[in-house]
């Protein structure tokens, strides 16, 4: 019975790591989709907002 519990815990850990990888990969694709001009514009906008706050 204990061995089954450890197998379930191990499987859950593997699934968690895989899910984390998917989330990171999705975020990376979003970041890489921006052109350098878009990144520059977004940064300028954020700086202006921070200066006004």
CA distances (Å), origin 19, targets 15, 42, 44, 51: 6, 29, 33, 38
Task: Record the pTM.
Answer: 0.50
Mean pLDDT of 36-50: 93
Which residues fall within 8 angstroms of residue 34, CB to CB, at 6 or more apart? 42
What pLDDT digit, counting tens, does each position of 16-33 carry? 999 999 999 988 888 888
Domain-wise residue ranges, the chain: 29-53
What pLDDT digit, counting tens, does each position of 2-14 carry? 778 889 999 999 9
CA dihedral sign, ordered 24, 27, 33, 36: negative
**Residue 35 pLDDT more than 70?**
yes
């Amino acid at each position: 019975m204990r061995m089954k519990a450890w197998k379930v815990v191990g499987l859950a850990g593997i699934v968690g790591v895989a899910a984390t990888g998917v989330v990171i990969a999705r975020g990376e694709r979003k970041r890489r989709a921006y052109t350098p001009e878009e990144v520059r514009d977004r940064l300028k906008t954020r700086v202006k907002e921070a200066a006004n706050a």
